[in-house]
Chain A
């Protein structure tokens, strides 16, 4: 395997007294799609800013493309594409000009940037909006433009901080499709998300982060195998009765998780578990059998839900 493009060892970032990132270690291989999954405030964005060579680490070792961000910030950043959590497109410029001024920051010639901007607007499905004002774009379009902007310098690593937060389902799927194509073409992706489906779709490997620490690491399927059962039966008895019903469910499946609005029964065979629930004379208002997901992994590891 070729040398990793990102190596982080015992990475720490402290603000005043609180540690936002508290000793995180990971490596990312070239061409890999790597994710940081965790709830808001877990330290994902802070980690991304350190990897993006804009935030100085408090301690630990960090190497991006073989360089130390403390000494070679501009050199590292010239090979990164960054999609921040909050769009920072220039609303005083039209769509195409946003790409052009940004491309110039990388020392690229004007003619090259102009040609590349047109190609990327095609890729981002914004070719017909090149003269549009930023404020007239939808949330999904702004995100796609930000991704196009991040690709203007042909980056070796694309950093995406919560790329689909705040988008409607259709816009999310368009975006995933574009990211998936990038991945297929070998671009190294590093993304943070608090959506488990996004992590499952896009990441080859991920770390589950909570309170600035790594809770687990691995491929999505392996993490699910390791920390959860194959299937989950979700039953709802009404918010008053979930607790008491849970007592009667004891022994069904491998494990129970009582949430305020439902009870989760972890089992190899969800349908069989549901049959047993009915046999015991319990009558859930609704029931659902599904595959285990990263949400279950997170719940298992932290006792909390990803989206709170």
Chain B
């Protein structure tokens, strides 16, 4: 055991590096924490698509084929129809988890944000790092899902690989949830309410497992305001489309981008304010 503190190191802290790479240091931290539960994550990431694809792509699809014939909608089979939307939904779910639990964890339960901020990192960098981490998780989840879809024979066009970045963009469109989490100081079950009353219904009524046009007109607006619908429709255009006019695809992109940017800016704003007590 040494009793003296190690001598002053020749290597000094470099605030210019902290200013430049701060957000990446946050990602590095989060990835190191992932190591502990990497296997759980991997099993979930591989297991979930297989369960869903069996249930929808094989199980439900046989029912659909019985009643509608081989070509379900948009001139493709049920698996081809449902797969892009399932990928988008999966990315949204992992992102939502980070936006809610990841945020409150960092601010409160396992207050790593406070520690990062007492080191040279700024509130903006902490949030940027969190969002980069969300991007990695969403890409990982969507990427594995896409591979599973390919195994099930659900991939027709090489363009369909663009479902992965579209799923990431859709995940980012939920970032206003993170902004809201940044303002929460007590968990009184709000996160469960958001999961059950907002994210779940959004995914049910967003043309995921059936086309939005099948819904009565008075319910279709849910799809129009839902990032999941915009993301799913956009990814279908590249998977087997086009099935809609180009201007509508542009609207999908703009709608998702707008939500993502507003949510990100607000999350930074509330987080900086929260850290500056």
Contacts and interface: CB of A to CB of B under 8 A. Distances in A.
Interface of A: 49, 52, 54-56, 73-75, 77-80, 82, 84, 86, 88-93, 97, 100-102, 104-109, 112, 116, 119-120, 122-123, 125, 127, 149, 151, 153-154, 181-182, 185, 187
Interface string B6-33: 1011011111111101100100110011
A256 B32 CA distance: 60
A107 B2 contact: no
B11 A109 contact: yes
Contacts of A86: 111
Nearest to A97: B32
Given A78-B14, A78-B18, A84-B115, 16 more contacts: A55-B277, A73-B122, A84-B118, A88-B114, A90-B29, A90-B33, A93-B33, A93-B36, A102-B115, A105-B119, A106-B15, A107-B18, A109-B11, A119-B2, A123-B4, A153-B119
Contacts of A116: 6, 9
A101 B4 CA distance: 23
10 contacts: A56-B276, A88-B112, A102-B119, A104-B29, A105-B18, A105-B25, A107-B16, A122-B1, A127-B1, A154-B12
Nearest to A98: B115
B25 A104 contact: yes
A196 to B, nearest CB: 26
Q: Which of A77, A151, A187 has the most CB of B within 10 A?
A: A77
B13 A108 contact: yes
B5 interface: yes
Given A55-B276, A106-B18, A106-B120, A125 B13 contact: no
Given A105-B120, A107-B21, A154-B9, A125 B1 contact: yes
A112 B9 contact: yes
B120 A74 contact: yes
Contacts of B22: 74, 105
B116 interface: yes
B47 to A, nearest CB: 22
A104 B25 CA distance: 6
A106 B14 contact: yes
A79 B28 CA distance: 22
B114 A84 contact: yes
A262 B206 CA distance: 73
Given A90-B112, A104-B25, A74 B32 contact: no
